[in-house]
Structure 1
């Protein structure tokens, strides 16, 4: 089992015993810039060959003053590109840390602030409860769990929206793979079971944010599907997204207009409505808080904090979407590549007369440096992907899952007090 406690270097798999960073290829931009370096090196070789063999009646030589003039412009553009990309990377990390804070606070306030009602031990509305975020299966020689109650009390459900909002029929999910060592707890009753369902939804919010930012739609993922309640079929459950063809229509004053687009209207029963999975989970959590507050089962002083946490989580998710769906402007990226290429193609002409054949390895080094800086910016401008230099969101979600798994096994007693 992987330890929850990690050193910062473990996220990047660096230790003092590995080979130095100078020799590292994995995680570097070498695979990205290799083709560009090859092109510049071949170009320099061809030009040097033409000059050496005097295939032209004149020498391909430029004044050396060109290099300093262009290098200043290229350096400023590359510095701005790299700084902008790192700002996006760092902001993404701060937003995920803020999301961690809200999930931790919400789960803690829920676990200690929800009023408890006595119920038969080990039974939750007729369903045996567990002490983990992963469903538990009784041992083979133990008595079978009681059958589920046909109509659980409304006050202890998660609301009709969670279980019956979508009338579409779906294929029943297969039982989750469970830990055979998990056992039923005699200390946990219906309220704890419902708390665990909500805490699972909290974790599902963080995991669904990760998948949404990676453009992985639907719920059929090992780390997401079984965190959602049975019967919860959100509109984002489809893996197929329809993209309509768009045309530019400046005459209408709009940037884009879809073919055969009907006038907009908000009405009940509109089947074209859609919502991302994280937002729908936030909506379900809000419904649950309002229902439990009206039933008086949550401390009144915590209701505002819980709703505030959901508002903050939604705000964080929206800011993460802003980073993903607002990339560096295309015109800027294109112009930067063109400027770097022009600089690398013009630079050899200023070196041939002085360096001769040594110009070729020098241009390979210069092109590797410049294109490498551009490659770093491209690598980190979207910090929520799966590249080696992106945020380790899978690890962050695993750590959060371990924390919540530990939380639901804590008893609500003050340390040092007598039970």
Structure 2
């Protein structure tokens, strides 16, 4: 999502130029400018006057402006709704993680295990469920971008341990495979056939190791030791070498903090925006591409066309991974209730947050799958084209040669607003003006790890310390000094209340009065 000026901040690139709508509307603007040039030239240099009355100009222009304004406002409303829904995901995920980590006890009584082993199992269980909360947001991101399945560098390491077969024991067949893995495997095989000759291995598999084993076969600790050694040697030699330090933009790889697991399918990149082609910079070429496609389609045999349609239908199969993750989280909550580990009130709070995640997913799906009706878009665009086509004929008499820049400016203004509305109508794709879903997921990932870093110590270990002054500003004595007295007494107590609760209340009133007077602007 582009929040700052992409043209005059940082290094200017063609990619930043795509953040504007100029590359989309310049062919139409050029066309109407040429029409205005023709009208002005013919009317000025020949006896023919290419003019028409301008009676309808004001009326039609006002109506058309209101319609375009409504089009842009409705698109921006969808954009804002998408952002609000992601805020709901953020809040519900954070609350659910707090409940799992703090309110679910780690200490368990497991027969045959020591206290430390049972505690370790409880911590592993809670951390795994919090990782699934992170997997929910990542799966929603791919779901909204029409990227089905689970075989992505940022998603597969978080869900690869989930059950794959309905029968966990005995013989496993394709008929026993659960929906999550059944659909994902079909989609992965379709992509594998499509990507037989990738441009490079990194385009498909990223940095994760790709082997055919079903379980990890190496120790992650050995890899970390080697990475730490190489990093330490690089820092030692950095000051002595003339090689510039690599920039963070070139070394940014958030997926390297995820578990490294083996996968029988190549993992697709976490972020895979479509490459810009000449059709994006010169949209007029799309018409010729369509003509060539129609001619080639007629020349193809019927069996090739049917095979292509079958592959397309397979690629359109949707795997609702977020719903599968929500079912696992709900199952975990039910398991805690059945074992008597949590109270019903806490289970209700967990269920409400999981329900919020499901409701938000439905609202995001509604925004993505409910575009503005095509008839409305087509009629509005044709009306605008007709208005701009006849605009030079109506304004030539009062403007003369200024008809050319006037028509160019009007075309740029009206077509730009129309194109902006169309671009932000679906704010979940890879356009520079779309919502930055990757940033939202990484932000939530950082907060979930911050939650699990909290050790929830006993309050008595840090409340009664020399650093804590609970009654400031009226009483700046520390908590350690206060608890040594038998009863609390106001400092410099003169004609004050009796020691005890009455003195505490007087102190709190004095603190309020001093804060209220001090923090107000003069």
Q: Does 1:214 align with 2:145?
A: yes
In structure 1, distance between residues paired with 2:430 and 2:53? 46
Change (3 A) 1:47 1:102: same
Measured at CA, do residues 46 and 193 of structure 1 come closer, stay the same or move farther in structure 2, by a change above 3 Å? Answer: same
Measure, in 1, the Cα distance between the counterparts of 2:25 and 2:117: 60
Structure 1 partner of 2:65: 75
Question: 2: distance between equivalents of 1:115 and 1:283?
Answer: 22
Residue-by-residue CA offset, 1:269-320 (whole Å, 9 max, x unaligned): xxxx975111111111111211221012233321111111111111110010
In 2, Cα distance between equivalents of 1:40 and 1:241 = 48
Task: Give the corresponding residue for 1:106.
Answer: 96
Distance 1:299 1:400, change over 3 A: same
May I ask how many residue pairs the two structures share in their alignment? 314
Mapping of residues 59-138 of structure 1, within 5 Å: 59-117=49-107
2:62 aligned with 1:44, yes or no?
no
TM-score scaled by length of structure 2: 0.56
Aligned residue in 1 for 2:23: 31
Distance of 1:85 and 1:345 partners within structure 2: 26
Gaps spanning 5+ residues in structure 2: where? 165-179, 191-316, 464-522
Deviation sequence 1:146-200 (CA, Å, 0-9, x none): xxxxxxxxxxxxxxxxxxxxxxxxxxxxxxxxxxxxxxxxxx7111111111011
Structure 1 pair 236/412, CA: closer, same or farther in 2 (3 Å)? Answer: farther
Cα contact 1:85–1:380 (8 A) shared by 2: yes
Counterpart residue number, 1:328: 372
Task: Pick closer, same or farther for the CA change 1:25–1:229 going to 2, 3 Å.
Answer: closer
The aligned runs of 1:81-230 (5 Å cut-off) are: 81-117=71-107, 189-230=120-161
String of CA shifts for 1:203-233, please: whole Å, max 9, x gaps. 1111111110110111122211111142545
Aligned partners of 2:130 and 2:154: how far apart in 1? 14
Q: Does the CA contact (< 8 Å) of 1:88 and 1:381 recur in 2?
A: yes
Q: Output one character per residue of 1:238-276: Cα deviation in whole Å (capped at 9) or x when no partner.
A: 42699xxxxxxxxxxxxxxxxxxxxxxxxxxxxxx9751
- Report the Cα offset of residue 414 of structure 1: 4.1
- 8 Å contact kept, 2:148–2:319: no
Larger radius of gyration: 2
SS in 2 for 1:398: helix
Q: TM-score by structure 1 length?
A: 0.69
- Does the CA contact (< 8 Å) of 1:85 and 1:378 recur in 2? yes
CA distance in 2, matches of 1:80, 1:355: 30
Distance 1:279 1:214 in 2: 16
Q: 1:399 aligns with which of 437, 440, 443?
A: 443
Whether the 8 Å CA contact 1:205–1:278 is kept in 2: the answer is yes
| Distance in 2 of aligned mates of 1:13 and 1:353 | 42
Aligned mates of 1:86, 1:219 — CA distance in 2:
31
- Greater per-residue helix proportion: 2
C-alpha contact 1:115 1:299 (8 A) present in aligned 2: no
Report what 1:239 is aligned to.
187
- The Cα of 1:418 is off from its aligned counterpart by 6.3
Give, in whole Å, the separation in 2 of the partners of 1:11 and 1:338.
30
